[in-house]
Amino acid sequence: MNKELDLFDILQNTTIGVIAIQSFILGYNAVTKDSKSKTISPHINHLFYVLPIVFENSSVETFISSRELYTAISKDKTLTLGLQELANKMSTQTFDSLNLGFNKGIFTLDKKSMRIGITEKYQNKSILNKMKIPDQYFGDIRKASFRLGNIFGRKDEKMLQLTLNIRF
């Protein structure tokens, strides 16, 4: 049986959410290092915007080919429309994905700073590259999430909020 997956199937698949969040964190960590070469992981608030962005077909294509936020927004002007509301609506999927990731030992939480990291075993990007992802769309979600993490890692929180019209 080889049926085409629809958006509902994707949104209900918590594993894809874990892959998207892990890719986002890897992308974020790739560009954020402090003076002691220690990685700075994303704040938990950032993660609630990952799934609403990368589960949208046009956004996936936009972020795969964009390295800057202003480039992505200029390519897809609908990107920021209703993003805050969509993040609120999809918070259950984000929580479910985080829960699965914590239960499987993929994610870590720094309770003091509320930053989500990845356990050492899963910090290697090649793990994601070796996964047998059956559909190209899921591979594209992973790539777009990594790129989105790069972009979030380079931007100040205030600038992200203003540009994307969101609130952390």
The pLDDT value given to residue 2: 42
The pLDDT value given to residue 3: 47
The pLDDT value given to residue 125: 62
The pLDDT value given to residue 115: 94
Task: Tell me if 112 is assigned to some domain.
Answer: yes
Owning domain of residue 89: 7-164
The pLDDT value given to residue 116: 95
Q: pLDDT tens string for the chain (168 positions)?
A: 344 555 555 556 888 899 999 999 999 998 887 656 567 899 999 999 999 999 888 888 888 888 888 888 888 888 888 899 999 999 999 999 999 999 999 999 999 999 999 998 888 765 655 666 566 777 888 899 999 999 999 988 898 888 888 887
For the chain, give the number of residues.
168
The pLDDT value given to residue 24: 95
Task: Tell me if 1 is assigned to some domain.
Answer: no
The pLDDT value given to residue 123: 82
DSSP calls for the chain: --PPP-HHHHHT-HHHHHHHHHHHHHHHHHH-B-TTS-B-PPBGGGGGGHHHHHTSHHHHHHHHT-SSHHHHHHH-TTTTTTHHHHHHHTHHHHHHHHHHHHHTT-EEEETTTTEEEE-GGG--HHHHHHS--SSHHHHHHHHHHHHHHHHHHHS-HHHHHHHHT---
Count of structural domains within the chain = 1
Task: At 134, list the tokens.
Answer: 């059956």
The whole model's pTM is what? 0.85
The pLDDT value given to residue 84: 92
Task: Tell me if 2 is assigned to some domain.
Answer: no
The pLDDT value given to residue 36: 60
How far, in Å, CA of 145 to CA of 133, rounded?
15
How far, in Å, CA of 5 to CA of 14, rounded?
14
Task: At 54, list the tokens.
Answer: 């990368």
Task: Tell me if 127 is assigned to some domain.
Answer: yes
